[in-house]
Amino acid sequence: MKKSISHWLGLFSIILGIFAWEYLVRLTELPRFILPSPTDVWKRLIESLADGSLLYHTGVTLLEVTLGLFFGVMLATVLGYSIAKSRSLEKVLAPYLVASQAIPIVAIAPLLVIWLGHGIISKVIICALIVFFPVLVNTVVGVRAVPHALYDMMNSLRATRWQVMFKLEVPASLPVLLGGLRVGATLSVIGAIVGELVDAKAGLGYLLKVGDFQFDTPMVFVAVIMLVALALSLYGVVTLFEKRFLKWQ
């Protein structure tokens, strides 16, 4: 009984938060352009769905996020594995990797837009950069955490280098790697929005700017809700991967 109730606690908290939000708007009587009610946001959501604008802009952001996540994860995994196997390479690249994280992505996003143009490429690169570091670190930690006794066992079985990689290192480091991927999946949405806020003619970040300039606060809330939905969806996909590929645990 307690377990079934715990499954619904998240939904109950969301419903309670919506009622508290509605009550706060009615109590304070704030103007719609400062704090819209949940009813206003819902009406604006229906309107933007009806005219197709919300689905279009969400699709643009989703494409940027997906491509950025893919390229960021691929590069981080390959480089992270190489660093995990070579201390010399780690010493060479460590200053650059740390320096890249010391610079806020917001600071270099305008430069990337200038260098790469106003199209989708600059947004994808920004997404990839923000995803890169957490996945890289988790890859290094995961590969280096493989017990040496397992390497000895693989050597005793005369396993090839590729067999050691795919039958030992990848499965053993997968839990840590997927943990980094969960973080990267949520951060990739932030990367797309940063790029769109700097310069874009489409996407949820563009809707945020338009809503802000036009004092269309319900539209701003709608865009934020869609961003949260995207992040939760990506997080859920990674969680499904974990359940699928980590059954052996």
pLDDT tens digits along 190-228 = 888 888 888 878 889 889 888 888 888 889 999 999 999
Asked if pLDDT for residue 245 goes beyond 80, the answer is no
Distances (CA, A) of 209 to 19, 77, 127, 145, 202: 28, 34, 19, 45, 10
Q: What is the pLDDT of residue 74?
A: 92
Q: What is the pLDDT of residue 63?
A: 92
DSSP for residue 200: -
Q: What is the pLDDT of residue 62?
A: 92
Instruction: Name the residue type at position 220.
Output: V
Burial 86-122 (b: 16+ CB within 10 A, else e): eeeeeeebeeeeeeeeeeebeebbeebbeebeeebbb
More confident position, 75 or 244: 75
What is d(CA 100, CA 201) in angstroms, rounded to the nearest whole number?
28
Q: Domains of the chain: which residue ranges?
A: 1-30, 37-245
Q: What is the pLDDT of residue 5?
A: 62
Asked if pLDDT for residue 249 goes beyond 70, the answer is no
Asked if pLDDT for residue 10 goes beyond 80, the answer is no
Asked if pLDDT for residue 33 goes beyond 60, the answer is yes
In terms of Cα–Cα distance, which of 174, 192, 140 is closest to 244?
Answer: 174
Spatial neighbors of 3 by CB under 8 A, at least 6 apart, are none
Asked if pLDDT for residue 56 goes beyond 70, the answer is yes
DSSP for residue 32: T
Q: What is the pLDDT of residue 46?
A: 92
What is d(CA 80, CA 84) in angstroms, rounded to the nearest whole number?
6
The reported pTM is 0.85
Instruction: Mention the CATH class of domain 37-245.
Output: mainly alpha
pLDDT digits (tens, 9 = 90+) for 141-180: 888 888 888 888 888 888 888 888 888 888 888 888 888 8
For residues 3-14, average pLDDT: 69
Phi, psi angles (nearest 5°) of residue 26: -70, -35
Q: What is the pLDDT of residue 4?
A: 57
Q: What is the pLDDT of residue 226?
A: 92
Asked if pLDDT for residue 19 goes beyond 90, the answer is no
Q: For the chain, what is the mean pLDDT? A: 85
